[in-house]
Amino acid sequence: MLAVVQRVSQARVEVDLGQGREVVGRIDAGLLVLVCAEHGDTTAQVHKLVDKMLKLRIFGDEAGKMNLSVQDIGGGLLIVSQFTLAADCSAGNRPSFTAAAGPELGRTLYEAVVDRARTLHPVVATGIFGADMQVHLVNDGPVTIPLTLR
């Protein structure tokens, strides 16, 4: 599983549902998490990913040090599928996405990430798997952490 975790002061996802763009997920302070499943990923990686992102100490404490997790601050999670995280640009200028899981496995694992997050955390919003989404965010810091869990 691949993920990019961004500390945000706010974030939202918009999708065109046929009558113009609509906001389908929104959070205030918290984490925007872009998620990509790769071939061979399992629910074991899903559990590790969700546990790691909930415990990442990347929010400031009273002294301004990054010592608090999203759970500590009561922040939100906005989880968005993004297969392009698996891009391989080593052979030319057009990325290859062959490492990304196919749509069926990708959807299953993305939904498992969302389900586990909702089981463990009270504020979870999402995009729509496979949709053409517009992601708006205010990256706080900026703080951006790539996670690779195998």
Q: Which residues are annotated as catalytic?
A: 82-84
Rounded Cα gap, residues 128 and 14, in angstroms:
9
Cα distance between the two ends of the chain: 6
Which of 39, 150, 148 minimizes the C-alpha distance to 102? 39
Cβ(27)–Cβ(8) below 8 Å: yes
